[in-house]
Structure 1
């Protein structure tokens, strides 16, 4: 039993989706499911015609007997007829549908949703990273539940304890894109400037204009000495940031899962976020959630935690308790191996939202 994993661009990028893909690829090979890496052009989802044809030709070259996992960042943007021309059985990996990306022009979003729904008609199976995404594909994209498997991200337990700094560090980790809502967080922080705190926003810049807007927003609020945009950092630096933090804040506008939320809970950090997408599913009772795009409500939650040590301690304990049931990366990878095996054997038993034991 062998497979191919097609990923657009550099698989070693430090974002949640790429960390997920690279980790699963590595572990599939470790657990006895040989899986070759196929790097597709990095221009997806807005690939020009040449890159699109390059990607499709690479996928057409995969033998018909070899299942090929294709990350949805590329697959969802491909023409349905092109996907239909791939001889190998395709396993779609959907982190979140492309048309649900915040800030996408409404007409473009609808085109992406229609295209991705049509593409998914031509795949052998669909792996999603959360029950929320599985339900979305079922309800809005017409994917039958028996063709969907949830493989939630896995996690490693922290190797070191916490060492909060003073003043308290409010940490946010996420791509510098509109969807992550860092602008909302900055607006909320401006409302609690009377309290002692410092903040770090860690994440790779995606849109230079948005990054410049964030920097300008920080400067205009008079918070340049309190809020740091750190950009992309390595794993050790992120671990150090979690260790130094007193709480985690992500004013996201949508998450298909939200790996950083679980990572924060593993480190015992109280979580303030928004009740969108898979966030309620991810954080459970541990999260303090407000509606998206509501900086006043977000600021109120931050203020409560900063002003009330008992509330902060209870929220930290809730995070640790909620994180106790998180899967390991081996759990995640076994779901993939199970799907690969069944697709390779051309078996399709009823399989709603998760593999059999």
Structure 2
């Protein structure tokens, strides 16, 4: 019997949308009686170590390699190779891949060596097509949203604002703090995410907070489990993330599904996945527009419309991936 080998980065206690996706897909595929074996490697694994692990996998088995590791792949492998791309790492700091040209060409080489690709949104499929030298099958398998999020009733009278995402520049927390510093209304911001991934950026945010004297209004809660995240959602009214780039935007869609009023960046992928939700799309750098919008929402007595469309299911995700194998 052929096996499917998932090779995925192990970020330890840090949670990313990609980590959640990989773990859920593995869990769902095992339910369908496929022989799944997962291989966890360091996010900093070397090209040589990654190749050795791949070479230990018997021939004629299928490998699904998390796209975070793709730039480490230097040689074509004999197995059926699929690369699961949440978003290219070369777009982590800019939506212009030429800003990190070495990483771009490493990923481009790897994507072209794969037999096929899997990704998480139609927009990301269009992005990946630009990396390919020739036509290749790209399967779109949206992430799922757990039922618990649809059953949340947020506090519509609260002045609490929630943001979820690791503390890295791409998530745009510097834009968020600046915009909130201009809000003339009582508010509190709780941020869930790992602040150890980029200490320089975290310290930069703390300096911005100190400059605007917001120490008593902004809390970094660190990495929280699902139950604690849901608890924070229930006591919040607004979700904000002025992200610069997303492959899907897991925490944003979860928050919209939970019924929070969402303010986020105007990105094509977010327009795609948040269609029919209670979401306001903004220019992340327009602090005046954003602060006015926050004030309006906090002043409003209207009960937000629920995002009732349950179109994102993990069993659907796994079925699509299974069909592509």
Q: Conserved in 2, the CA contact under 8 Å of 1:253 and 1:293?
A: no
Find the partner of 2:162 among 171, 174, 179: 171
Q: Deviations over 1:285-304 (max 9, x none)?
A: 43211123322222222122
Q: Conserved in 1, the CA contact under 8 Å of 2:276 and 2:307?
A: no
Identify the residue that residue 288 of structure 2 maps to in structure 1.
Answer: 296
Identify the residue that residue 61 of structure 1 maps to in structure 2.
Answer: 56
Identify the residue that residue 349 of structure 1 maps to in structure 2.
Answer: none
TM-score norm. by structure 2 comes to 0.92
Q: Conserved in 1, the CA contact under 8 Å of 2:51 and 2:73?
A: no
Cα separation, partners in 2 of 1:167 and 1:225, compared to 1, 3 Å: farther
Cα distance in 1 between the residues matched to 2:140 and 2:229: 27
Cα distance in 2 between the residues matched to 1:29 and 1:114: 34
Q: Conserved in 2, the CA contact under 8 Å of 1:95 and 1:128?
A: yes
Find the partner of 2:256 among 265, 288, 296: 265
Cα distance in 2 between the residues matched to 1:105 and 1:268: 33
Higher relative helix content: 1
TM-score norm. by structure 1 comes to 0.84
Identify the residue that residue 208 of structure 2 maps to in structure 1.
Answer: 217
Structure 2 residues not aligned, in runs of 5+: none
Identify the residue that residue 143 of structure 2 maps to in structure 1.
Answer: 153
Q: Deviations over 1:144-181 (max 9, x none)?
A: 66510101100112275425286411100001000000
Structure 1 residues not aligned, in runs of 5+: 341-357
Matches within 5 A, 1:66-215: 66-75=61-70, 77-80=71-74, 82=75, 84=76, 86-102=77-93, 109-138=100-129, 140-142=130-132, 147-158=137-148, 160-164=151-155, 167-192=158-183, 194-205=184-195, 206-215=197-206
User: By how many angstroms is 1:277 displaced?
Assistant: 4.7
Q: Conserved in 1, the CA contact under 8 Å of 2:120 and 2:248?
A: yes
Q: Conserved in 2, the CA contact under 8 Å of 1:10 and 1:39?
A: no
